[in-house]
Structure 1
Amino acid sequence: MGKLTDAIKHLIIINVILFIVPQMINLDLGQFFALYFPQNPNFGIWQYLTHMFMHGSFMHIAFNMYALWAFGTPLEQTWGRNKFLFFYFSAGLGAGAIYTLVNYYQFNGFYEHLIGVGFSPERIQAILDTGSYNQAAVQLSSQEMNHFYSLYHTPAVGASGAVYGVLVAFGMMFPNAKLALIFFPVPIAAKYFIPIMLFGDLFFGVTKYSIGNVAHFAHIGGAVIGFIIAWYWKKNQFRTHY
C-alpha cells in the first residue's frame, strides 16, 4: 500500500462523485446504470460497465474503495496505469457477464418449470410484473418464487467484481503478504486468505445461507477473470514499472 496511484485515484474520485452527487440532488441513477437482468425492460448493454460505478450504501462503497486502494496500488505500480485499467475493467465486465449467465441459468430453470406445469409465457410475465400468483398452481415454494421474482427485478451494483479480480491478482503477485479481516483480525498469508474468501462466496452463492443481497457470483466471476489475466501476465513476465 502507499499513496494513490493515477488510475486508482481517478477510479475512486469517479465512484465517490457518482455516489454522493445523486443523493444531494435526489437523482436515482440506478434505474439506468445498475445491471439488470437482460429480459427486464430496464436493461441496457452499457450497464455491464456502468454498474461498476454504482453503490448501494456508504459501507458498500467504502469497503470497495479501500480494497481498491490497498490491493490495487501495488498492482498499478507493477503493471503501470494502462495495463492496470485494462485488468480492472476486464475483471468488472467479466464479473457482470458471469453473474448474468448464472442468473439466466437459475431464471430459466424456474421459467421452464412454470411452462411445464401449464403456464403460458404471457401468464409468467404477468407474475413477474405483478408478483401475484396462485401458490398451488405454480408448484414452487414461496422462497423459490421470491428468488425467481428477484432474479428478474433486482439489479446488481458495485465495483466488487472488479475488486475481487484485483484481490486475486494481488494474492498471485504477493502471495506471502499478510491480510486480515475486521471480524477475524489474525494475519494470514494472501495465498491462503484469498482462496478462503472465494470459497466463502462460492458456498453462499450455491446455498440458501447468504446474508443480505450479495452478488456472490459477480465476485467469483471477477476473481476468475482476474486470475486468468494475472496468471497469463505473470507467466509471460508481463509487467511495466513506472
Structure 2
Amino acid sequence: MFTLAIIAVTVLVSWRAFNDPRLLGRLILWPPALTRHRQYDRLLGYGFIHADWTHLLFNMITLWSFGMQVERVLSPWITPVGYLLFYLSAIVVSILPTYLAHQRDPNYRSLGASGGVSAVLFAFILFDPWSKLIIFPIPLPIPAFLFALLYVGYSLWMDRRGGSSVNHSAHLWGAAYGVLFVVLLQPAVVGHFASALFG
C-alpha cells in the first residue's frame, strides 16, 4: 500500500536530515531558493523532512491511522497511484499560500508533512464523520466531525494570532484541499456525509 511506502520514505528522509544539515537545507521550504534559484522541488521536498522526532511521529502516526482507509476508498476511483498523487499534490497545494505570503522573506522556513496529512485526515472525516478519534494530548475519543470543527477553529485562530513556529495555514489549506478533492472526484460523498452525520 502506498500509505506505508509514504511513511517509510518520510521517516527515512527525515531521519537522514536530522543528521545531515546539508540535506535539511536543500529540502526545506526557503522562499528565496525558489525565487532566486528556481528550486521548485522544495514545494514537495519540505513535506519529507521534520523538525524533530515528535513532529515526525505525530504526522506519521496520524497518516498511518487514517491513510490506509482513505487509500482503500480512493483507489477504486483513481487507482492507488492516483491516491499517491493526491497526497503529494496536497503537500504542494497546502504550502502555496504560505510561499506566496513569504516569497520575499529570507528568514522564513517551513517543513513537515502536516499539509498532506491534513488532506488525508479530512478526506477520512467525509467518509466517516462519527468515527471516534483520539488525538494527543486529548485523552478521550471525540467524533471526527467535532474534531474537524475544533481543528479548523484552532488553526484559524493561531494563524491570525501569529508568533507560532507551526504553519497553521498549511494545515488549513491541506484540510480544504482534501475535502475539495474528494467532493469534486465523487460529489455523492456530500450526500453520504450529510446522511451519516444527521441520519
Candidates 15, 22, 25, aligned match of 1:28? 22
**Partner Cα separation in structure 2 for residue 206 and residue 227 of structure 1:** 22
Q: What is the correspondence of 1:1-242 to structure 2 with a 5 Å cutoff?
A: 6-24=1-19, 26-38=20-32, 41=36, 44-80=39-75, 81-103=80-102, 151-208=105-162, 212-235=164-187
**Partner Cα separation in structure 1 for residue 61 and residue 100 of structure 2:** 28
Q: What code does the residue aligned with 2:43 have?
A: Y
Q: What code does the residue aligned with 1:93 have?
A: V
Distance 1:37 1:67, change over 3 A: same
**Partner Cα separation in structure 1 for residue 101 and residue 169 of structure 2:** 7
Runs of 4+ in 1 over 3 A off after TM superposition: 38-43
Kindly indicate whether the alpha-carbon contact (under 8 Å) linking 1:178 and 1:189 is maintained by their aligned counterparts in 2: yes
Q: What code does the residue aligned with 1:35 have?
A: L
**Partner Cα separation in structure 2 for residue 23 and residue 179 of structure 1:** 30
Please state how far the C-alpha of 1:42 moved relative to its aligned partner: 6.7
Q: Which runs of 5+ in 2 are unaligned?
A: 190-199
What percentage of residue pairs aligned between the two structures are identical? 26
Structure with a larger share of its residues in helix: 2
**Partner Cα separation in structure 2 for residue 221 and residue 235 of structure 1:** 20
Kindly indicate whether the alpha-carbon contact (under 8 Å) linking 2:47 and 2:111 is maintained by their aligned counterparts in 1: yes
Q: TM-score scaled to structure 1, two decimals?
A: 0.69
Q: TM-score scaled to structure 2, two decimals?
A: 0.83
Q: Which runs of 5+ in 1 are unaligned?
A: 1-5, 108-150, 238-242
Larger radius of gyration: 1
Kindly indicate whether the alpha-carbon contact (under 8 Å) linking 2:43 and 2:92 is maintained by their aligned counterparts in 1: yes
RMSD, matched Cα? 2.1
Q: Greater shift after overlay, 8-17 or 27-36?
A: 27-36
Kindly indicate whether the alpha-carbon contact (under 8 Å) linking 1:175 and 1:189 is maintained by their aligned counterparts in 2: yes
Please state how far the C-alpha of 1:41 moved relative to its aligned partner: 4.8
Count how many residue pairs are aligned between Structure 1 and Structure 2. 184
Higher relative contact order (CA 8 A, sep 6+): 1
Q: Greater shift after overlay, 176-185 or 165-174?
A: 176-185
The corresponding residue for 2:192 is none
